[in-house]
Amino acid sequence: MKRPLIFCLLLPLLLATGCWHSKKKPKEITAVATDVEEGFKQRWMEKRTGELLAQGLRIDIARQQAIDEFRARYSYTRAADK
Protein backbone atom coordinates (compact mmCIF):
# COMPACT_ATOMS: atom_id res chain seq x y z
CA MET A 1 0.00 0.00 0.00
CA LYS A 2 2.88 2.37 0.67
CA ARG A 3 4.51 1.72 -2.72
CA PRO A 4 1.71 3.19 -4.86
CA LEU A 5 1.52 6.21 -2.58
CA ILE A 6 5.25 6.86 -2.79
CA PHE A 7 5.15 6.33 -6.55
CA CYS A 8 2.29 8.79 -6.96
CA LEU A 9 4.14 11.39 -4.91
CA LEU A 10 7.46 10.95 -6.72
CA LEU A 11 6.15 10.75 -10.28
CA PRO A 12 5.45 14.48 -10.70
CA LEU A 13 8.81 15.26 -9.16
CA LEU A 14 10.63 12.99 -11.60
CA LEU A 15 8.79 14.44 -14.58
CA ALA A 16 9.60 18.02 -13.63
CA THR A 17 13.30 17.65 -12.78
CA GLY A 18 14.49 19.22 -16.03
CA CYS A 19 12.76 22.48 -15.20
CA TRP A 20 14.21 22.66 -11.71
CA HIS A 21 17.84 22.47 -12.71
CA SER A 22 17.89 24.85 -15.64
CA LYS A 23 17.70 28.48 -14.64
CA LYS A 24 18.84 29.75 -18.02
CA LYS A 25 16.33 30.83 -20.59
CA PRO A 26 16.48 29.39 -24.14
CA LYS A 27 17.80 32.70 -25.51
CA GLU A 28 20.70 32.63 -23.04
CA ILE A 29 21.52 29.04 -23.98
CA THR A 30 21.49 29.97 -27.68
CA ALA A 31 23.79 32.92 -27.00
CA VAL A 32 26.26 30.66 -25.20
CA ALA A 33 26.20 28.15 -28.05
CA THR A 34 26.80 30.92 -30.58
CA ASP A 35 29.76 32.23 -28.55
CA VAL A 36 31.28 28.75 -28.38
CA GLU A 37 30.85 28.25 -32.13
CA GLU A 38 32.39 31.64 -32.89
CA GLY A 39 35.37 30.86 -30.67
CA PHE A 40 35.83 27.51 -32.39
CA LYS A 41 35.60 29.14 -35.81
CA GLN A 42 38.20 31.76 -34.90
CA ARG A 43 40.68 29.18 -33.58
CA TRP A 44 40.10 26.85 -36.52
CA MET A 45 40.52 29.69 -39.04
CA GLU A 46 43.78 30.86 -37.44
CA LYS A 47 45.20 27.34 -37.46
CA ARG A 48 44.13 26.53 -41.02
CA THR A 49 45.27 29.90 -42.38
CA GLY A 50 48.68 29.33 -40.78
CA GLU A 51 48.92 25.89 -42.39
CA LEU A 52 48.06 27.32 -45.79
CA LEU A 53 50.57 30.16 -45.37
CA ALA A 54 53.24 27.58 -44.54
CA GLN A 55 52.43 25.90 -47.86
CA GLY A 56 53.23 29.17 -49.64
CA LEU A 57 49.80 30.67 -50.32
CA ARG A 58 49.27 34.41 -50.15
CA ILE A 59 47.47 35.58 -47.03
CA ASP A 60 44.28 36.72 -48.81
CA ILE A 61 43.99 33.43 -50.70
CA ALA A 62 44.78 31.41 -47.56
CA ARG A 63 42.05 33.20 -45.58
CA GLN A 64 39.46 32.71 -48.30
CA GLN A 65 40.33 29.04 -48.66
CA ALA A 66 40.11 28.58 -44.89
CA ILE A 67 36.67 30.24 -44.88
CA ASP A 68 35.48 27.99 -47.71
CA GLU A 69 36.79 24.87 -45.97
CA PHE A 70 35.15 25.84 -42.67
CA ARG A 71 31.80 26.39 -44.38
CA ALA A 72 32.07 23.04 -46.15
CA ARG A 73 33.04 21.09 -43.02
CA TYR A 74 30.90 22.83 -40.44
CA SER A 75 27.89 23.97 -42.43
CA TYR A 76 25.55 22.85 -39.67
CA THR A 77 26.82 25.58 -37.31
CA ARG A 78 25.61 29.14 -37.13
CA ALA A 79 29.22 30.30 -37.31
CA ALA A 80 29.52 28.91 -40.84
CA ASP A 81 26.78 31.23 -42.03
CA LYS A 82 28.70 34.36 -41.08
In a domain, 8, yes or no: no
The reply to whether 34 falls in a domain is yes
Q: Is residue 4, in this structure, part of any structural domain at all? A: no
Task: Name the domain count of the chain.
Answer: 1
Residue 76 lies in a domain: yes
The tens place of each residue's pLDDT in the chain, 82 residues long, gives 566 766 666 667 666 655 555 566 788 888 898 999 999 999 999 999 999 999 999 999 999 999 999 999 999 999 988 8
72 assigned to some structural domain: yes
Examine residue 19 and state whether it is found in any structural domain, yes or no: no
Reference 71, options 79, 60, 62; nearest CA is 79
Give, in order, the Cα–Cα distances in Å from 34 to each of 31, 59, 76, 78.
5, 27, 12, 7
Residue 62: CB atoms within 10 Å: 20
Residue 27 confidence (pLDDT): 82
What is the span of the domain harbouring residue 33?
27-82
pTM: 0.66
Residues 6+ apart with CB under 8 A from 52: 61, 62, 65, 66
**Domain annotation covers residue 12:** no
Other C-beta atoms closer than 10 Å to the C-beta of 69 total: 14
Residue 21 lies in a domain: no
